[in-house]
Every structure is written in C-alpha cells, then in structure tokens.
Structure 1
Amino acid sequence: METIVDEPQWLRTASWVGCPLAGAGLGWFLQSISGWVASLSWVPFKGPFQLVSDIPQPWGTVTGIGVGVVLGLLFAGVWAHERLIVKVTPTRITLTVKGRTRAYEAKLQAVFLDGKELVLLAADGRELAREKGDVDRQAVAKAFLEYGYPWHDEPPAVK
C-alpha cells in the first residue's frame, strides 16, 4: 500500500506538448520580426537579428520554428527532471527529484512544507530532507496523515 504525490498526468502531458508548441510560436515570431528589429538604430546586439533575417525563406521560418521546438523540448525536459515525486508508505518515505531517489525509514518528529520545500525532521530534531518542488499542499498532507506521519501545516517552532 502506497500513496504517490506527483504533478497531475494532464500537466505532465501538457508540458511535453505545450512547451514545444510555445517554443515554435516564439521561434516563428522572433524570426518574423528579426528584420524589423535589426533595422532599429537603438537596438543593441543587432548582429543575431540581422543574421536571422538574412536566412532565405522559407528556411528562415523553418529554422526559427525548429529552434523554438528544440528549446521547448529542452525546457520540458528540465521541468520533468526538477519535479518532486513523493511516495509514502506506512514504513518508508521516498523522494525523487533531479534523477535522484532517496528513501527514509526513520521515526519522524515533523513533516511540513516550508514555502515550496518539503521538510522531514527526524525524532531527534535534525533535518533529514529538504526538497524543493511544486507539490499539491493538500495532497501531500493527506498522504502523510493517511499513514500516521506527524504532518504540520506550518513549520514547527524551533526549540
């Protein structure tokens, strides 16, 4: 028996579809205005805009869109890599973030969110884990409370 707290499936799917689409749109937009931007006398770093505007069509548009798609995919990959996945069982808490999985089986004094950081405090008061992530506060609280862990809505007072 375990409970997993993760981003919703629709959001994970949307990031892999939406980020490349947004990147394609941005790439097309920047390519389409590059000639105009390069013609402005007050714009610094005209070189890259001039270089982009000098690419013959339709290759300029294709290149702009392609670069945008690749950058969108890279952004979605970083998003997926950085997300925090919390797995709670009656005897173990497993945190996965940045391709690293850590399991904790110690008796806990407190579990809470400090801003966007999930914190696990051992029974002796030392900090076992502090992981940043955009977890749903209610879902993570429910998961810990379901298995009897000492969930706190606020960080406990320092003794």
Structure 2
Amino acid sequence: MDKRTEWTELGLSTVDKMLIWAIPPVLGGVLGWFLPVIAEWASSLPWVPFQGPLELVASLHGPWVALITALLGLLAGMWLSHAAIRESLHVRLSDRELQLSVNGAEAVYTREDIFAAFLDGKELVLVGQQGQELYRQKIEGKARLFTEEFLRHGYPWREGDPYADEYRRWVANSPELTAAMNALFEAREKALREDDKDDADDLRRELSKLGVTVRDEGKRQYWRLHGSRL
C-alpha cells in the first residue's frame, strides 16, 4: 500500500512567477534608460515637483548616464519582483496538514484544528474548533482552485463565514466589551486609518487572545465572541 503523502501547492503559478520576475525589471530598465530624457523634459515644467533632483539628473550627459540609470532601474525592478513573490501567500496542503507561508512567516495546522475554511473576498480564512479565527491572509491565484483542493483533501470548506450573523459593529466604549478590549479596538481603529496593516494584524491577534474575533469592512470593525465567551 502506497502511504506517501500527497501534497498540493496553491498560490502563484509558475507562469505568474515568470511574469513577476520578468516585467518589473524590464520596465525598470527601460524607464531607467530614458530617465535622463524624461528628467530634462519634466524639469522644464514648473508645476512638476522635485525640480531640484530632476535638474540634477538632466544636467548629467554621456552614454554612461543612461547605462547607469538603466542598471539602477533594472535592480529596482528585481527588488520589486522579489518583494511581490515574498509577500504572496503560498499554501501547501495534504489530507492531514496545512502549511501556509508569507513574507517569511509560517503557520501549520492539522485538518482536525480547522472547523471551517472559506474565502472572505480575496482572503483565505481559517476558523478553529472553538470558533476563533486561526488565520486570515490574501490569496493569489484562482479562488476556484482553493475551493476544489481544500474539498479534495477533506477540509471543511464553507461557501461563507458560518458565524457571519453573529458580528456586530464596534463603536467606542461598547458596553458589551471590557475596557481593555475597547482600548485595543481604539488602537486598531487608528492603525486602520493610517493603513498600518502590521499593527492592525497584531491588535487583531491580541483581541483574539481575549476571546474576540474581528472582521473588517473597509475601515469599519465588526466583532463577535468565541470560545468560552460564547
């Protein structure tokens, strides 16, 4: 009997990765090559900002200038390509285990850990057996493939959030929540206004430790209780 574990990988396809590695460097190199000409033209327009740097670039002459700026553009494009791939979610799943990695951070769950898995827009959401949100991250690739592969490997895939009806909108000093919870929501509201995703995610995890699951709709925060607080 063949007991080898079958793994499925989801995320950026090979073609996607090839395009990401090719397009930004090429565009960066082309833009860099023409940068001296563009800078000279832009510096003649008084309403264009950064006149000082533009005039400096426009003052440089010689074929070596275009070569250097093209090389710098190429390197900048390669850095963007690397960042785009590193920050995209990679999912690896078998019938027993689910591995997720993005931006150097990894998370592993067994199939038994998961009560529900679903897509909230373009975000993959995993909910634990106590109703807590285990994981939330934007996906890359076709949503249909996530649905098909999670079901094929026996995961409890849902068409939507099974707790959707339990959320209520957070308002300042919500009487149903403790002072500590409200303080975390206030800090998170500030992070959302400032588009500080890392801080917002950290505060989401802190609220989860207190038994509160958070869902965002734009800059608005919605919450429900999970675990022993239900």
C-alpha separation in 2, matches of 1:152 and 1:23: 42
Match among 93, 97, 100 for residue 95 of structure 1? 100
Match of 2:134 among 118, 128, 135: 128
State the TM-score, normalized to the length of structure 1: 0.92
Shift of 1:41: 2.6
CA contact (8 A) 1:111 1:118 kept: yes
**How many pairs align?**
159
Match of 1:25 in 2: 30
8 Å CA contact 2:8–2:92 kept in 1: the answer is: yes
Rounded to whole Å, the distance in 2 between the matches of 1:44 and 1:90 is 56
Is the 2:128–2:134 contact (alpha carbons within 8 Å) kept by the matching residues of 1? yes
TM-score, normalised via structure 2 length: 0.65
Assess if the C-alpha contact under 8 Å between 1:38 and 1:50 holds in 2: yes
Which residue number corresponds to residue 42 of structure 1? 47
Higher relative contact order by CA 8 Å / sep ≥ 6: 1 or 2?
1
SS of the counterpart of 1:21?
A: helix
Q: How does 1:100-119 map to 2 (within 5 A)?
A: 100-105=105-110, 106-119=112-125
Are residues 15 and 77 of structure 1, via their aligned partners in 2, closer, same or farther at CA, if it must alter by over 3 Å? same
RMSD over equivalenced CA pairs, Å: 1.5
- Residue type matched to 1:39 in 2? S
Consecutive unaligned residues in structure 1, runs of 5 or more: none
Q: What amino acid is aligned across from residue 155 of structure 1 in structure 2?
A: D
**Does the 8 A contact of 2:34 with 2:66 survive in 1?**
no
After superposing on structure 2, the runs of 4+ consecutive aligned residues of structure 1 that deviate more than 3 Å are none
C-alpha separation in 2, matches of 1:97 and 1:111: 18
What amino acid does structure 2 have at the position aligned with 1:78?
A
SS at match of 1:111: strand
**Offset, 1:78:** 0.5
1:77 aligns with 2:106: no
> Identity of counterpart residues, as a percentage?
35
